[in-house]
Amino acid sequence: MKYFHDVQTSRKKGLVILSIDSIIQEIKNYDEILEVVFSLIVSAYFQLTNHCYLAIIVEQVHPNKWQLISDITIFCEKFLEHPIDRSYFRWRKVAEETLEYIENLNDNVYNFKHGNEGLTYKDCYLVYKNNREKCVLLFEKNERDERPVPCPQCRTLKIQGHSYPTIGVRSWECKNIFCGYKSKYNRGKRYSLSSIIRQQAILDSQNFIDPKILKNWRRDIVEVSSFSEIYDFLIQCYSLYDDTILIYEKLCQLPPLMFGRKLKIQKVNKLISSQWRNHYHNLKFFKRFLIKKSMKSLTSRENLSSIPEITLYQGDSFNILSQLESNYLGGAVTSPPYYNARNYSQWSNIYCYLYDMYNIFNQVYRCLKEGSPLLINIFDYFDNEKIIVFSDMGKKRLILSSYISFICRYIGFNHLGNIAWDKGEIEGNRNFNQGNYSPYYQAPHNCWEHILIFSKGNPSFDVTKIPKIIKEKPITKIVKGKNIYGHTAPFPEKVPSLLFSLITKDEIILDPFTGSMTTGRVALKYGIKSINIELHKHYCDLALNLLKQQLSKNLQGSLF
DNA sequence: CCGTTGCAGACTCATGCTCA
DNA sequence: TGAGCATGAGTCTGCAACGG
């Protein structure tokens, strides 16, 4: 393999691990933190071998870990902004769709010619020891590399470029008529460099991963007896035997050799250059959706609920919120529609989605009282952003939680923290690795969702009251192939209850995407008034039905 | 009650398909 | 025929259903 693919298989750095806490310990200023972290990411990116991983470990930093995680994630994914001259990049179509949806976007269309590339977000592990929480962010580098790779079957370079199975990964087709491999349609072997490397590792016993490690790390919430297990896991699952691993950490006590990999500990010189922070804040990417929407016309809003404690409006969240008073709500909790996750939540691309979210949360901000909390339940869903390509090759883990955090901070909210909603052993204990115990095949089970905590201005509630993690099974939706609940994505009562533990009983709360009105119904139990908004008539009916059931149950209960 | 069977559901990979 | 898109097979395991 090395003989035939000499250039591409030389592995400079097979994995880069960035342990942030020790590096930025003394820095108090958030902008300075960003400067240091961004410079390190960029330097890591250019040293990292293609198709290899960058892991970033974050514990507790000033002022808030989750704010930093959000900025890091968006930066990693989007920091390379330049024209992409591949024909799969159909920027005209992206521009067309976005301009049609976002009316006030009279920006120069030329901007859409620039695409964003960078590292692909794979996962965020939560690692716990006693009560301490560390986050491990994982990114994969897939840089377009058009250098020809010989056919793994017949070693010839008589090949032709083919498609991109995932963005940034070039695939090839063998054109040698004497090659041992031919498909039914008489086409040659198709392959890519990254798949060749991965498949080679399967056969190599030195790359075998201890199944014990995999068992402990099969979910993305992990309980460890020592945080050094993070390194054991990362090194075994995301690098190959004989690789050189680059580690950025100030006080590193790791041996120079682990599992046959050479560790290179890098001293960090404090880099003071605002270059990358400025670059980040000036990305054209943000300018395509951070645009204020103007209200079209006053739509009639009718309260569908007959109970004084609950207000239920059917209609577009933005329109209805625009008509509400400013500074009078005591809190808000919601689970926004996940981008293109269901047939009731479809947008042409991520810009359109983020534009809607920006405008709706902007209105929520206006309606909230100073100091009041906002909780947002969101999941990093798996889909295509549809801003580079439209097919499956663009499908990836979306960074919705990071986007929402960015948007809300842009509006003016304080991002105070994050509650991890551990959904438990959903879908069994599956760990998709195609039966291979070798690196790069280990995909954990994504078993937690974000509940982001924000406040308007300085919080008037006690932040320390909020737990770091809650365990709650998702509501059973499907019984014998039928959706007995009526809504495909309900959230548990615990989520709105978290909000009610922060506010006083005389407040009015808001849920701009209420669905089956879990928020309103739980609020009623707490004796708190609520305003609920839902776009679809169908869900409003469902909400009222569920409310009716709840009330009749309470009535029965009071008889005893 | 317990062993067996088969399916759900999420994801990847390889290959078929199709357009220009 | 170059290049991108679509899709079905294959992979996993817990659990429900089944049957002795």
Pairwise CA distance, residues A171 & A191, whole Å = 5
Q: Which of residues 161-190 of A touch strand C (CB under 7 A)?
A: 161-165, 175
Side-chain-side CA neighbours of A46 within 13 Å: the count stands at 7
Please, are residues A135 and A57 in contact by the beta-carbon 8 Å criterion? yes
Residue A474 (CA) to nucleotide C20 (C1'), in angstroms, measures: 36
The yes or no reply on domain A302-426+444-558 and CATH 3.40.50.620 is no
Pairwise CA distance, residues A104 & A102, whole Å = 6
Tell me what pLDDT residue A426 has.
44
Is there a common fold for A15-284 and A302-426+444-558?
Answer: yes
Contact, A427 CB vs strand B, < 7 Å: yes
Residue range A470-507, pLDDT digits in tens: 877 655 443 333 344 445 556 778 889 999 999 999 99
Least confident of A116-130, A144-158, A316-330: A144-158
- Whether the per-residue pLDDT at A304 is higher than 80: the answer is yes
Protein-contacted bases of chain C (C-beta within 7 A): 1-7, 10-15, 17
Least confident of A240-254, A268-282, A361-375: A268-282
Kindly report the backbone phi and psi dihedral angles of residue A79, in degrees, each rounded to the nearest multiple of 5, phi listed first. -70, -25
Tell me what pLDDT residue A479 has.
33
Least confident of A171-175, A285-289, A530-534: A171-175
Residue A113 (CA) to nucleotide B15 (C1'), in angstroms, measures: 32
Tell me what pLDDT residue A465 has.
83
Average pLDDT over residues A176-201: 72
Residue A550 (CA) to nucleotide C8 (C1'), in angstroms, measures: 45
Kindly report the backbone phi and psi dihedral angles of residue A141, in degrees, each rounded to the nearest multiple of 5, phi listed first. -95, 120
Residues A15-284, CATH architecture: 3-Layer(aba) Sandwich (3.40)
- Whether the per-residue pLDDT at A427 is higher than 50: the answer is no
Nucleotide with the nearest C1' to A196 CA = B13
Taking Cα atoms as reference points, which of A52, A41, A43, A44 lies closest to residue A10? A52
Tell me what pLDDT residue A165 has.
67
Query: In terms of pLDDT, which residue wins out, A401 or A147?
Result: A401
Residue A350 (CA) to nucleotide C8 (C1'), in angstroms, measures: 28
Q: What share of chain A in percent tops pLDDT 90?
A: 32
Residue A110 (CA) to nucleotide C12 (C1'), in angstroms, measures: 46
- Whether the per-residue pLDDT at A299 is higher than 80: the answer is no
Residue given tokens 């009623």 in the structure block: A524
Residue range A46-73, pLDDT digits in tens: 998 888 889 999 987 666 889 999 999 9
Nucleotide with the nearest C1' to A429 CA = C13
Contact, A552 CB vs strand C, < 7 Å: no
- Whether the per-residue pLDDT at A461 is higher than 70: the answer is yes
Q: ∠ CA(A356), CA(A122), CA(A137), 5° rounding?
A: 95
Please, are residues A155 and A181 in contact by the beta-carbon 8 Å criterion? no
| HEC assignment per residue over A171-186 | EEEECCCCCCCCCCCC
Name the burial class of residue A526, with classes exposed (0-12), middle (13-18) and buried (19+) by CB atoms within 10 angstroms of its CB: middle
Does residue A518 sit in helix, strand or coil?
helix
Over chain A, what is the mean pLDDT?
A: 82
Nucleotide with the nearest C1' to A436 CA = C11
- Whether the per-residue pLDDT at A248 is higher than 60: the answer is yes
Residue range A73-128, pLDDT digits in tens: 999 988 988 877 777 777 777 887 788 888 888 766 567 888 888 888 888 888 88
Tell me what pLDDT residue A480 has.
31
Where do the structural domains in chain A lie, given as residue ranges?
Answer: 15-284, 302-426+444-558
Closest CA to the C1' of C4: that residue is: A163
| Residue A220: band (very low, low, confident or very high) from pLDDT cuts 50, 70, 90 | confident
Least confident of A34-48, A207-221, A274-288: A207-221
Residue A419: strand pairing partners: A451
Taking Cα atoms as reference points, which of A484, A539, A549 lies closest to residue A513? A539
Please, are residues A520 and A532 in contact by the beta-carbon 8 Å criterion? yes
| Residue A431: band (very low, low, confident or very high) from pLDDT cuts 50, 70, 90 | very low
